Amino acid sequence: MSIHQSIKRVTVPQLKGCKGQRKIAALTAHSSVFASLMDEYLDFILIGDSTAMVAYGLPNTLSITVEQIAAHTAAVVRATAHACVVADMPFGSYQKTPEQAFENAAYLLSAGGADAVKLEGGEIMAPTIEFLVKRGIPVLAHVGLMPQHVNTMGGYKAQGMDEATGKQVLADAVAVERAGAFAVVLEGVKEELASAISAKLGIPTIGIGASVACDGQILVTEDMLGLNGENVPRFVKRYANLASEVQHAVQRYADEVRAGAFPESKHCFGVKSTTPSKA
């Protein structure tokens, strides 16, 4: 029996049931290599629209397509056995009508193999969330700082720093819970507000630049591993600096190639071993 047959994947109801019981740990992934390394330690893995930036070098999250997210999701699903897999819905794939959202969300579940989808928006997207959930598609909501709204927000600005935006973030969080979202991401939200929302809601809150009082946390993997340059958001804690390790390894490789030190005979085919045999 393979490991994928013997391990049960975390389900959406199990994630929802973590509220008040234990914290939820999540990260992003877009490749089978990283997904397989992190699988056993996480409750869910998000194939984020941040893939546009970390995998394709695009300036923001707005250009990635449903087909690209589905392909990356399928790679993550194939490489994992434990973590619940959530696929981000790209900009323009769900805002027009609930029917449009259902068509694209269903594609991410059928072609990508996702267990759930994530979409941005609070009160305005509540009817769409309800439409999806009633038709069998679990939804992770996302309120506060919403990267797909970067143009209307005037940049990546923390939310809830004043009374007006604070009331809106709270109203958005309440609306998505009522619509049936199983959890909600609170991004770039004032700590006090994120803590209050987490206490008020009956579904888990997943913080990113929010509060330790959230029911879980998520980060972009490349940020927390030190693979995404020096300019990282304030809320990111770097748990490693893999960029320097990768650069050092590549430099050693290039130096050995140019010096004729690699490959050695043990790396070649049809070369007799020079190791003396035992008597």
For residues 266 and 192, give the distance between their C-alpha atoms in angstroms, rounded to a whole number. Answer: 60
The DSSP secondary-structure symbol of 266 reads G
Question: How far is CA 68 from its chain centroid?
Answer: 14
Phi (first) and psi of residue 257, to 5 degrees: -60, -45
Token pair, residue 101, equals 């959202």
Phi (first) and psi of residue 147, to 5 degrees: -55, -30
For residues 216 and 43, give the distance between their C-alpha atoms in angstroms, rounded to a whole number. Answer: 10
Is 187 considered catalytic here?
A: yes
**Is 120 known to sit in a ligand binding site?**
yes
Given the residues 187, 191, 192, 264, the one annotated as active site: 187
For residues 144 and 193, give the distance between their C-alpha atoms in angstroms, rounded to a whole number. Answer: 10
| CA dihedral of residues 194, 197, 202, 203 (deg, nearest 10) | -40
For residues 191 and 256, give the distance between their C-alpha atoms in angstroms, rounded to a whole number. Answer: 50
**Is 49 known to sit in a ligand binding site?**
yes
Token pair, residue 160, equals 């809830």
**Is 88 known to sit in a ligand binding site?**
yes
For residues 38 and 46, give the distance between their C-alpha atoms in angstroms, rounded to a whole number. Answer: 12
- Binding residues, as ranges, are 49-50, 88, 118, 120
- Binding residues for Mg(2+), as ranges, are 49, 88, 120
- Binding residues for 3-methyl-2-oxobutanoate, as ranges, are 49-50, 88, 118
User: Catalytic residues, which ones?
Assistant: 187
